[in-house]
A and B are shown apart, each in its own frame.
Chain A
């Protein structure tokens, strides 16, 4: 795993460039502690901090193709690199290493942007074309690996020469660029609070964008031009075989996906939550691994959140070497700030902090690569949100008895959905049986909580306006069924914006552990989309997955209701009273957070502090954790204080590879006898 960073900045003084580049990489060195390298040319620099997984010795970066026309900084993995390498060899391309980085580069040289849909992987990459002068960025189709950029008008190639384009795997790297200042963006904060995550191309900071999943960007002549190479395809032709054949298809696709993700020169472990998805991943990993598989999990003191008994059952059933860490409220409070620093965006719950601790535990156990179950709930309709959508969408066709029965099975983990309140819930659901927010029907009940949190901002813009505009502009979205719209929204917001990032990749990479998600393989997602609701009514979550693995997992994994992974929220901070709680308790501190309405924020904090834990509502809890994480981000990123862990000094940071091509070619074009690159 790696982190990449770089810039196109013609006005930056030549003498400064190496130092700026080194500092940027140093700020994300947790992502790739093994080695670092960078490439310099006139007005451009890019580099990689690398964690070596495949071809430890020869995978050094930046790497060039044999003609030296293309240079690449690559973060991630191509799981199908072996197959692609064979295909490219057949086309006459010669390879010098076994690394997937070289496969990416050669595929680019061969096919240009048309290579991207061929990739099955998790990646973010930057490619420099020496001949054309272009810089090209791309990101994987599900948004597994991050890529942020800052586009300051024109990159300087046309005219004034003072524009800049910066990019990095994590936004914190921008701090090392001269003149760059972080500033919270109240408009994006409102959208983030409401939707639970930034939109695919957004961040909570002014001037910083994300390259959306499945997209690329070409920086040419001072202009950044975006492109899209992979739409999320949910509306696929329905599976035509029998249910038994469907289960076999799912099993085979997952098996192949796990097999590809076990391609590694280092040991691969599994995060085992105890639920169905991670149990399936563990099962397939034990089947496919020649050695004993190690599994890792989190235990909570609080029985409400703890799943350790399920974890033990699965681990012993499958014969893994299991280890877990016990996470207390004190641990969450003590590690909240460093975890937020790595997350870089406000969070609506604290459940990412235990994952920060778990990746540290895995690293200490000598594990560099982890498989986990993310994506299964989105692909196979595992969330209660999907059942809720089905229920509300068919509300007018159901009898009162049916409504009552289905309400009862929606959220077994939430007491206010219990039998005593069912009639009241029915009254509430009446209010949500027709669409009010165009395109967002499935999420309207959830978004009530988000709307509450959005009131933390002084300006009261419609916080869903940008998301509605996004769905409106998405070809084919309007024609999707309500459940598929719900899936689309999950795939574009909560999955990449929180689960894969704040709770996933960012926490793993904080300790140099790479995460891989077998359920987020294009073939698996496609199979799921063709089979969902074909053989069941969606009321028994992930029915086809259970069928596919019946007899291979402990019965409890197949029959228990999904238990959402949760951790204690506001209660932790109330009980632990960490010193940074002062950021919310002090009126002076609250005033320092740009765009936050101190009156509402104070009211919320006062209520949380005064209310018994079990009477704090979900929306209040979420708004509180949002506010606290935003206050911490403001302190670390905007005010530049209390930055945890790594020093900003690159003194102890070693760069192994430096390619300096500045002024080396004069005005002569660099492509000496280069074969033409098709597709560009």
Chain B
């Protein structure tokens, strides 16, 4: 399972949704009502744990965790950054 599929699975399990025609990787998960506060925290914790990432406060403040695409892009960036060093 690749990175994006893994994140997709995390979101699907956490929010009991399925990515299909209606819910796409670009869908804003806040606007569509998928995200709630508890689930949001759990999801980010799971992402951090799974990819051994430490997100900074600054990073949490950007609007980057609102869709599968955005989360995946962010994780990809962080991993590249980490592996680059």
Residues in chain A within 8 A of chain B (CB atoms)? 400, 414, 416-417, 421, 423-428, 430-432, 436, 445, 447-449, 451-452, 455, 600, 603-604, 607, 615, 617-620
Contact = CB atoms under 8 A, between A and B. Distances in A.
Contacts of A431: 30, 35, 63, 66
Q: Which 4 A-B residue pairs are closest in the complex by CB-CB distance? A: A451-B33, A427-B60, A423-B57, A617-B38
Contacts of A452: 15-16, 33-34, 36
Nearest to A436: B31
A359 to B, nearest CB: 32
B16 A603 contact: yes
B61 interface: yes
A427 B36 contact: no
Contact of A619 (B30, B39, B63): B39
B44 interface: yes
Given A416-B41, A449-B36, A607-B16, A424 B31 contact: no
Contact of A424 (B16, B36, B44): B44
Nearest to B32: A451
Nearest to B15: A452
Q: Is the interface of A mostly helix, strand, loop or mixed?
A: helix
Contacts of A432: 30
A604 B16 contact: yes
Contacts, number: 68
B42 A617 contact: yes
B46 to A, nearest CB: 11
A42 B61 CA distance: 70
Given A427-B60, A436-B31, A618 B36 contact: yes
Contacts of B37: 416-417, 425, 428, 445, 448
A421 B41 contact: yes
A400 to B, nearest CB: 8
Contacts of B40: 424, 428
A424 B66 contact: no
A430 B39 CA distance: 16
A448 B29 CA distance: 10
Identify the interface centre among B35, B37, B62: most chain A CB within 10 Å of its CB. Answer: B37
A100 to B, nearest CB: 46
Contacts of A424: 40-41, 44, 60
A607 B39 CA distance: 14
A451 B32 CA distance: 9
Contacts of B65: 427
Contacts of B36: 448-449, 452, 617-619
A431 B40 CA distance: 12
A600 B16 CA distance: 8
A618 B38 contact: yes
B41 A425 contact: yes
B41 A430 contact: no
Contacts of B39: 617, 619
Contacts of A426: 57, 60-61
A461 to B, nearest CB: 13
A202 to B, nearest CB: 21
21 contacts: A424-B40, A424-B41, A424-B44, A427-B61, A428-B40, A428-B41, A430-B61, A430-B63, A431-B66, A432-B30, A445-B37, A448-B35, A449-B36, A451-B33, A452-B33, A452-B36, A603-B16, A617-B36, A618-B38, A619-B38, A619-B39
Nearest to A445: B37
A447 B39 CA distance: 14
Given A428-B41, A452-B33, A603-B16, 9 more contacts: A400-B61, A416-B37, A423-B60, A424-B40, A426-B61, A432-B30, A615-B42, A618-B36, A620-B16
Contacts of B16: 452, 455, 600, 603-604, 607, 620
Interface in B1-43: 13, 15-16, 30-31, 33-42
A617 B41 CA distance: 11
Nearest to B12: A603
Nearest to A423: B57
A227 B16 CA distance: 44
A448 B66 CA distance: 14
A417 B40 CA distance: 12
Contacts of A400: 61
Nearest to A603: B16
B34 to A, nearest CB: 8
